[in-house]
Structure 1
């Protein structure tokens, strides 16, 4: 039986990803801060699965908890890092910035290291991280969120190169959603996609072991244009 761990499975993309991977026969380890929601999720899934409560903002503790979950499960081949925090910054407040940095940067990097160590010992594996289209642009009221997602995308690109140089069949997938109808997204922005549709595209890309997945697919063209535009021109659209 194929095994996968989803970090950040208690809501949003991680929750739906658990549902769809379980339907495809995966045995899952689900991690998240809200243990009650993880229990509720597992009750909905076919088969037997593993639960591990964790607070990704406590990077070192979450590393230990991921290691313990891997050991309990046995042969994890896929780890998806889905935890993320996005907050508006109408005022520059360190408490809000620190929360995003602790989860989106420190926690993400800490768990990436554990995943890579596991796959190196195993001799193969697949690490996927959920970044954002925000990695390609900047915003006056979302300064820290955009910066943290730029870190995630760049960090995964470096890990992909590291995996290639290792000579081991370790796949690194960068997932960059646009607007998906999850609790993190407010209002009804351009090209909003239902979470089920977004995750269906995500799963298809993961099964094909793609290096990069845009959700939905049309956002790849936005990313391409945004990367080419000079900042003075990009500012006119933000």
Structure 2
């Protein structure tokens, strides 16, 4: 069994690559930074590692298709690439990069992987979104909007699979303030992806907090902008 993990040479993607390998899977991981790619290769010599940059949508999609067709194909694809900048001043260059990678780039990768897996008649597809996709945020407007786009895009692909009678499963991975707990989170994510779950929140209690947060009245949500991160300090500290 083979997994292709876009963004698998660092962060949560790297932790997930390690869990796939521990479960006996062959892994092909991609990254952007050369140092991270070389570090991954040194740590996991049995895995393949290469460069793939989703900020160049067409090139990133084409590279992923090449990877999916190499060495017997793939049984699981995880998109764990992303880009974040604090941007309370709405600097357009920062907004544009967040949209390019987190929305357009991830959608291009998901589209390529979905078409490939659907044609293969099997497989697991997952994408790491973010708890930020639940509501907008003054500190990073484009980032949260792009993650909300991913929530909806995954739902659309899941409906397409259902309408086609395809057994391909699609999992929305929703991390929230993981800090250093990425290995433990990756174990939970791997189980959810292999089980074909529609979504997995890590830590799990964020599923309930997200439901409450999603339904906050708009006026209260706008007032929260002043003390949003103060309120979340407990969760950030607990999970770091």
TM-score by length of 2: 0.89
Which runs of structure 1 show a deviation greater than 6 angstroms over 4 or more consecutive aligned residues?
none
- Cα offset, 1:64, TM superposition: 1.2
- Cα offset, 1:120, TM superposition: 1.7
Match of 1:158 in 2: 156
Using the alignment, how far apart are the partners of 2:182 and 2:118 within structure 1? Answer: 32
The answer to whether the Cα contact below 8 Å between 2:9 and 2:49 also exists between their aligned partners in 1 is no
The answer to whether the Cα contact below 8 Å between 2:79 and 2:128 also exists between their aligned partners in 1 is yes
Deviation per residue, 1:161-210 (Å, 9 max, x gap): 111111010100001111011xxxxxxxxxxx611122121112112221
Q: Does 1:233 align with 2:231?
A: no
Q: Where does the alignment leave 5 or more consecutive residues of structure 1 unmatched?
A: 182-192
**Mapping of residues 43-122 of structure 1, within 5 Å:** 43-45=42-44, 48-122=46-120
- Cα offset, 1:42, TM superposition: 3.0
**Mapping of residues 113-192 of structure 1, within 5 Å:** 113-181=111-179
Query: Against the structure 1 CA distance between its residues 236 and 92, is the aligned structure 2 distance closer, same or farther, given a 3 Å change threshold?
Result: closer
Q: Where does the alignment leave 5 or more consecutive residues of structure 2 unmatched?
A: 226-240
The answer to whether the Cα contact below 8 Å between 1:29 and 1:73 also exists between their aligned partners in 2 is no
Aligned pair count? 225
SS state of the match for residue 73, structure 1?
Answer: coil
The answer to whether the Cα contact below 8 Å between 2:90 and 2:141 also exists between their aligned partners in 1 is no
**Mapping of residues 196-235 of structure 1, within 5 Å:** 196-235=183-222
Match of 2:231 in 1: none
The answer to whether the Cα contact below 8 Å between 1:7 and 1:14 also exists between their aligned partners in 2 is yes
Deviation per residue, 1:211-233 (Å, 9 max, x gap): 10000100000111122222112
Match of 1:34 in 2: 33
Aligned Cα RMSD in Å? Answer: 1.4
SS state of the match for residue 52, structure 1?
Answer: strand
Match of 2:12 in 1: 13
